């Protein structure tokens, strides 16, 4: 098995990274994760590491002759040094496609995702014009993603949505549904923390700003983007609520403002004096996603909790804890900003409320 190393620009903080593409294998993943600053990209469905000389040497040591270096989609007349000095590889996504997404008012995150997966798709058929790629080639690409790349169902759905958008909404071509089938959705339950685990995790944070950020996410059930986009005026203490503006699906909503959080935010405001966003970086402006992940990651590690929890786990935990405390599912749906009650109903499968009144048949057996 070869590991294909593609030189990618601007994957993280505009720094050159090496994209590692290989069929899923736990032993290979363990080796890759041993490399410093190795990260997983859910959007690109790959591992990536800093493009450093020592990392290239390390890859050769770890995988001997199974490494193949590829400068995917880059002009052949550029040297490696010229290539890595560039911040971004040239995009193959037509400007008309970008304009159509803006006209339809797609969110920045959706546009970023569509551009990423379409770029990878067009690079796969880089000898063809995007308008010349046939439906049979689309079908073969989907098969390649499943059999060779072993991508997740989430990534596959992103590809299907982006390809359908380009051909149907931009080119006006109706694709045969057989060639762009969405994979069956998995029915995995999200990971949640118990109330005791949330308390333990939050106690690990001592920095006032970091504490306010995590308290806000959990107490109001916010998405990552929602807490980053909060403005100072969105904290409505008079009405005892937090106003979430232009959230997923371009919807506004109100959610809970915890009394404990409000006291903490007042102390935070006096100390940090944010100008526009509620939580700002050291030099002002919106707080970074990377810093947000690091805050949670450090707290989780310090807590000793062994669950595979992520920042979004706090949102899932918020909803589950409300349900276990008897909150009506309709209110939880409104607080989370779910369009469909079916999305909220997943928390009824997570809660263990009532289990204490049910005995396992094994406990009744005299064995």
Which tens digits make up the pLDDT trace of 200-213? 999 999 999 999 99
Give CA–CA dist 311/295, Å, rounded: 9
Give CA–CA dist 118/97, Å, rounded: 10
For residue 318, what are the domain limits?
195-348
Same domain, 78 and 101: no
**Residue 12 appears among annotated catalytic residues:** no
To the nearest whole percent, how much of the chain has pLDDT over 70? Answer: 87
Give CA–CA dist 225/209, Å, rounded: 17
Is 346 buried (19+), middle (13-18) or exposed (0-12) by CB count in 10 A? middle
* 58, 85, 112 - which closes a domain: 85
Mean residue pLDDT of the chain comes to: 84
Which carries the bigger pLDDT value, residue 84 or residue 255? Answer: 255
**Residue 347 appears among annotated catalytic residues:** yes
CATH number of the domain where residue 119 is located: 1.10.150.130
Active site residue: 248, 253, 293, 353, which one?
Answer: 248
Mind listing the pLDDT tens digit for each residue in 120-160? 899 889 888 888 999 999 999 998 888 888 788 888 999 99
Tokens of 221: 């059930």
Tokens of 100: 């159509």
Q: pLDDT-based confidence at 163, cuts 50/70/90?
A: very high
Antiparallel, parallel or unpaired: β 3-12 and 15-21: antiparallel
Same domain, 206 and 344: yes
Q: pLDDT-based confidence at 275, cuts 50/70/90?
A: very high
Q: pLDDT-based confidence at 360, cuts 50/70/90?
A: confident
Same domain, 233 and 144: no
Q: Determine how many CB atoms are found less than 10 A away from the CB of residue 43.
A: 16
In a domain? residue 99: yes
- Cβ-contact 339, 253 below 8 angstroms: no
Count of domains in the chain? 3
**Residue 349 appears among annotated catalytic residues:** no
In a domain? residue 188: no
Active site residue: 223, 245, 253, 310, which one?
Answer: 223
Among 148-152, 231-235, 261-265, 273-277, the least confident range = 148-152
Same domain, 123 and 35: no
**Residue 316 appears among annotated catalytic residues:** no
Active site residue: 114, 268, 287, 347, which one?
Answer: 347
* 24, 58, 85 - which closes a domain: 85
Same domain, 260 and 330: yes
In a domain? residue 129: yes
Same domain, 162 and 272: no
**Residue 248 appears among annotated catalytic residues:** yes
pTM above 0.75, yes or no: no
Query: What average pLDDT does range 58-62 have in this prediction?
Result: 78
Tell me what pLDDT residue 248 has.
Answer: 81
Task: Please give the angle made by the CA atoms of 149, 152 and 158, to the nearest 5 degrees.
Answer: 100
Active site residue: 9, 149, 211, 315, which one?
Answer: 315
* 151, 179, 207 - which closes a domain: 179
Instruction: Tell me the torsion sign for CA atoms 300, 306, 309, 315.
Output: negative
């Amino acid at each position: 098995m070869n590991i294909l190393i593609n030189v990618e620009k601007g994957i993280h903080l505009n720094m050159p990274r090496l994209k590692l593409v290989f069929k899923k294998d736990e032993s290979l993943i363990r080796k890759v994760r041993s490399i410093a600053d190795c990260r997983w990209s859910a959007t690109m469905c790959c591992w990536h590491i800093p493009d450093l000389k020592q990392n290239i040497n390390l890859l050769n040591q770890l995988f001997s002759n199974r490494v193949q270096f590829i400068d995917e989609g880059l002009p052949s007349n550029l040297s490696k040094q010229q290539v890595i000095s560039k911040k971004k590889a040239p995009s193959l996504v037509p400007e008309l496609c970008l304009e159509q997404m803006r006209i339809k008012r797609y969110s920045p995150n959706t546009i970023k995702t569509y551009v990423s997966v379409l770029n990878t798709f067009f690079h796969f058929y880089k000898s063809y014009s995007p308008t010349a790629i046939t439906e049979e080639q689309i079908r073969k690409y989907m098969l390649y993603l499943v059999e060779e790349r072993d991508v997740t169902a989430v990534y596959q759905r992103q590809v299907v949505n982006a390809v359908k958008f380009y051909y149907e909404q931009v080119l006006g071509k109706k694709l045969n549904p057989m060639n762009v089938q969405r994979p069956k959705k998995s029915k995995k339950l999200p990971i949640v923390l118990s109330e005791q685990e949330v308390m333990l995790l939050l106690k690990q944070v001592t920095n006032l700003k970091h504490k306010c950020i995590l308290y806000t996410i959990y107490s109001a059930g916010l998405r990552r983007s929602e807490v980053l986009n909060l403005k100072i005026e969105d904290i409505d203490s008079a009405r005892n609520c937090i106003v979430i503006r232009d959230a997923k699906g371009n919807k506004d909503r109100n959610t809970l403002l915890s009394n404990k959080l409000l006291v903490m935010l007042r102390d935070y405001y006096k100390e940090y004096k944010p100008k526009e966003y509620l939580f700002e970086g050291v030099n002002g402006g919106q707080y970074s996603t990377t810093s947000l992940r690091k805050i949670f990651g450090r707290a989780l590690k310090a807590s000793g909790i062994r669950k595979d929890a992520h920042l979004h786990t706090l949102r899932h935990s918020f909803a589950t804890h409300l349900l276990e405390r008897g909150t009506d599912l309709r209110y939880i749906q409104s607080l989370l900003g779910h369009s469909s009650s079916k999305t909220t109903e997943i928390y009824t499968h997570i809660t263990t409320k009532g289990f204490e009144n049910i005995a396992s048949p094994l406990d009744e057996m005299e064995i």
